Amino acid sequence: MAELSIDEIMQRLPHRYPFLLIDRIIEFEKEKSIKALKNVTFNEPQFAGHFPKHPVMPGVLLIEAMAQAGGMLAFQSVEDDREYLVYFTGIDGVRFRKPVRPGDQVIFELTCLRRRGMMWKLRGQAFVDGVLVCEGILMATLMPQEDA
């Protein structure tokens, strides 16, 4: 188990503001599970239009944040993770249980259900204050950057 800072996340994921959606890796077990954190702030650009009088984190961004955490888990499985990109390849069974609002701290927990080579199938859950707010099954693949 280890913790990774935003600087270490940025060394691996190609995403940048406003699309880098995880702030820290709290812990991970190589090729098995990962836990990531996102602090939701009112200053994020999506809240200008979603929704101005009642800001709610768009579900698609919760899923993207989950996918980014899953990508970080996949990167831990290769020797030189800087030679690869991770591609989100599918989602199944997504459910949104409760709105996420500015001021919330979201904890994303992903567990590997199956891995075949560079293909991953992950169970993702998002929690706010210990309450499940979103869940789904995500698929992703690692690809060498020269093939991307």
Residues of the chain with pLDDT under 50: none
- Set 15, 50, 101, 121: catalytic member: 50
Count up the domains in the chain and report the number: 1
Active site residue 50: yes
Domain that holds residue 117: 6-147
Confirm whether 36 is domain-assigned: yes
| Lateral strand order in the sheet of 131-144 | 24-29, 33-39, 105-116, 119-128, 131-144, 84-96
Number of CB atoms found within 10 A of residue 43's CB: 8
In this prediction, what percent of the chain has a pLDDT beyond 90?
89
Confirm whether 1 is domain-assigned: no
The predicted-structure confidence for 113-135, as pLDDT tens digits, reads as follows 999 999 999 999 999 999 999 99
pLDDT attached to residue 15? 95
pLDDT attached to residue 79? 83
